[in-house]
């Protein structure tokens, strides 16, 4: 959730700074979509390594060895399963932040950005 939080705040500031959109539900949706994509992009290499380590049967000596062996397969090997991960994470991120912003709005919580 940490990459999602920081990416959401940055994406929201970026979207608002264009002046094309105001602070409304579409802005929250768009910022959340961007945050979900960024979080997936940032976390996928670690998820791939974790999965490879969990499924291995002693073929790796550690995380570094696993990373080196994965790197031999090419840079895209770290993004295996990116689409299913994005399909899982992006809607979750959208729902989380759209609901958060609506709760802020209805309960009068101001956020200084």
Question: Which residues does 69 contact at the CB level (< 8 Å), separation at least 6?
Answer: 60
For residue 79, is it left (φ>0), alpha (ψ between -120 and 50) or beta?
alpha
pLDDT band at 113 (very low <50, low <70, confident <90, very high): low
Q: Tell me which residue of 90, 43, 76 sits closest to 51, measured CA to CA.
A: 43
Structure tokens at 6: 């920081």
Confidence at residue 22, expressed as pLDDT on a 0 to 100 scale = 86
- 16-29 pLDDT per residue, tens: 999 898 889 999 99
Residues 100, 102, 103, 109, CA torsion sign: positive
pLDDT band at 5 (very low <50, low <70, confident <90, very high): confident
Structure tokens at 90: 């992006």
Mean pLDDT for 87-107 is 92
Indicate the helix (H) or strand (E) that contains 107: helix 82-107
DSSP states of 22-58: -SSHHHHHHHHHHHHHHHHHHHHHHHHHHHHHHH-SS
Percent of the chain whose predicted confidence (pLDDT) is above 70: 96
Mean pLDDT for 4-26 is 90
Mean pLDDT for 86-109 is 91
């Amino acid at each position: 959730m940490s990459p999602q939080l920081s990416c959401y705040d940055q994406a929201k500031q970026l979207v608002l700074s264009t002046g094309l959109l105001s602070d409304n539900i579409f802005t929250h949706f768009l910022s959340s979509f961007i945050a979900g994509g960024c979080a997936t992009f940032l976390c996928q290499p670690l998820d791939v390594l974790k999965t490879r380590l969990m499924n291995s049967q002693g073929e790796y000596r550690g995380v570094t060895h696993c990373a080196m062996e994965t790197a031999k397969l090419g840079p895209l090997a770290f993004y295996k399963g990116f689409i299913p991960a994005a399909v899982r994470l992006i809607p979750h991120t959208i729902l989380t932040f759209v609901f958060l912003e609506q709760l802020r709005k209805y309960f009068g919580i101001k956020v200084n950005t």
